[in-house]
Amino acid sequence: MSRGSKTLYGFYDLEVNPNCFDFVKFAVLADLARIEARCSELHLVFVPSRGDGFRDDDQFAQENREWRMRNIMQPICALVSSCTGMTVCSTREEAISLANGASPLIFPEGYTEKNPVELFEWSEVAAVTACGKKLPSLRATGQALKFINTWIAERANGRRVISITLREMGWQKERNSRVEDWLKFARWLDSEKYIPVIIRDTDAIFLEPNPIFDEFVQFPEVALNLELRAAFYEVSYLNMMVSNGPIELCALNTKAPFLMFKVYPEAWAKDRPIGGLSEAGVPAEGHLPISGPHQRFVWEDDHFDALRSSFSAMISFLDHHKKEVEAFRELEAFPPTKIAPSVIVQLLVGSSRHRQALKILEYLNDSGELKKFLEEISASVDLTVQNDPASIHHLKSLLLTLILSRPWHTAVYVRLTKKLLADGDARNDPHYRVLLGDAHAAAGDKEEAIAFYLQALKADPNIVATNVKLGMLYEEIGALAEAEEAYCRAVSNGLQSGSLFEKLAQIVKLRGDLKESIKYSMLAATAEH
Mind listing the pLDDT tens digit for each residue in 66-102? 999 999 999 999 999 999 999 999 999 999 999 999 8
| Residue 355: burial class (beta carbons within 10 Å; 0-12, 13-18, 19+) | middle
Sequence-ordered list of residues with C-beta below 8 angstroms from that of 389, at least 6 positions apart, any chain: 424, 425, 426, 429
Q: Compare 18 and 448 and report the one with higher pLDDT.
A: 18
CB atoms within 10 A of CB 197: 23
The per-residue b/e assignment along 227-265, b for 16 or more CB within 10 angstroms, e otherwise, is: bbbbbbbbbbbbbbbbbbbbbbbbbbbbbbbbbbbbbbb
3-state secondary structure of 249: helix
Q: Which pLDDT belongs to residue 494?
A: 85
pLDDT digits (tens, 9 = 90+) for 366-395: 888 888 887 777 776 666 555 554 455 455
| pLDDT tens readout for residues 323-336 | 999 999 999 999 99
pLDDT number for residue 470:
94
Of the listed ranges 126-130, 346-350, 442-446, 465-469, the one predicted with least confidence: 442-446
Of 66-70, 95-99, 299-303, 493-497, which gets the smallest average pLDDT? 493-497
| Cis before 209 (ω within 30) | no
Which has more confidence, 358 or 46? 46
What pLDDT score does 2 carry? Answer: 40
Interval 19-54: pLDDT, tens: 999 999 999 999 999 999 999 999 999 999 998 889
pLDDT the model gives residue 3:
38
> 498-510 vs 480-492: helix axis angle to the nearest 10?
140
Report how far apart, in Å, the C-alpha atoms of 388 and of each of 93, 158, 273 are.
Answer: 57, 60, 21
> Across residues 430-449, what is the average pLDDT?
80
Are the CB atoms for 387 and 424 separated by under 8 Å?
Answer: no
- Please state, in angstroms and rounded to a whole number, the distance separating the CA atoms of residues 72 and 69: 6
* pLDDT value of position 235: 98
List Cα–Cα distances, 219 to 23, 129, 249, 266, 284, in angstroms.
Answer: 24, 34, 17, 29, 35
Domain locations in the chain as residue ranges: 7-120, 142-262+300-331, 354-526
Whether 63 and 113 have beta carbons less than 8 Å apart is answered as no
Q: Check: CB of residue 359 under 8 Å from CB of residue 353.
A: no
Least confident of 297-311, 317-331, 416-430: 416-430
Which residues are within 8 A (CB) of 442 and not within 5 positions of it... i.e. 6 or more apart?
Answer: 352, 354, 396, 400
Largest CA distance in the chain: 81
- According to the model, what pLDDT value does residue 277 have? 84
* Choices 3.40.50.20, 3.30.465.10, 3.40.50.2000, 3.30.450.20: CATH for 142-262+300-331: 3.40.50.2000
Over range 515-520, report the average pLDDT: 90
Minimal CA–CA distance to 119: which of 344, 333, 356, 282?
Answer: 356
Rounded distance between C-alpha atoms, residue 403 and residue 526, angstroms: 41
The whole-number average pLDDT for the span 212-220 is: 97
**pTM, two decimal places:** 0.81
Overall average pLDDT of the 100-120 stretch: 92
Name the helix (H) or strand (E) containing 203: none
Bridge partners of residue 260, in order along the sequence: 241, 297
pLDDT of residue 418: 63
- The upper half-sphere exposure of residue 388, i.e. CA atoms within 13 Å in the direction of its Cβ, equals 8
Of the listed ranges 94-108, 159-173, 274-288, the one predicted with least confidence: 274-288
Q: How far apart are CA 296 and CA 71, in angstroms?
A: 27
Identify which has the larger pLDDT, 266 or 250.
250
Residues 6+ apart with CB under 8 A from 112: 96, 99
Q: pLDDT (tens digit, 9 = 90+) per residue, 133-156?
A: 999 999 999 999 999 999 999 999
Q: Is 202 exposed, middle or buried (0-12, 13-18, 19+ CB in 10 A)?
A: buried
Confidence at residue 484, expressed as pLDDT on a 0 to 100 scale: 93
In the predicted structure, residue 419 carries a pLDDT above the cut 50 = yes
Write the class of the CATH domain 354-526: mainly alpha
pLDDT above 50 (res 223):
yes
Q: For 424-452, what is the mean pLDDT?
A: 76
Higher pLDDT, 238 or 102: 238
Distance CA 394, CA 283 (A): 16
Give the residue among 98, 79, 97, 102 at the shortest CA–CA distance from 6. 102
Question: What is residue 377's predicted lDDT score, i.e. its pLDDT?
Answer: 74
Per-chain mean pLDDT for the chain = 89
Confidence of residue 1 (pLDDT cuts 50, 70, 90): very low
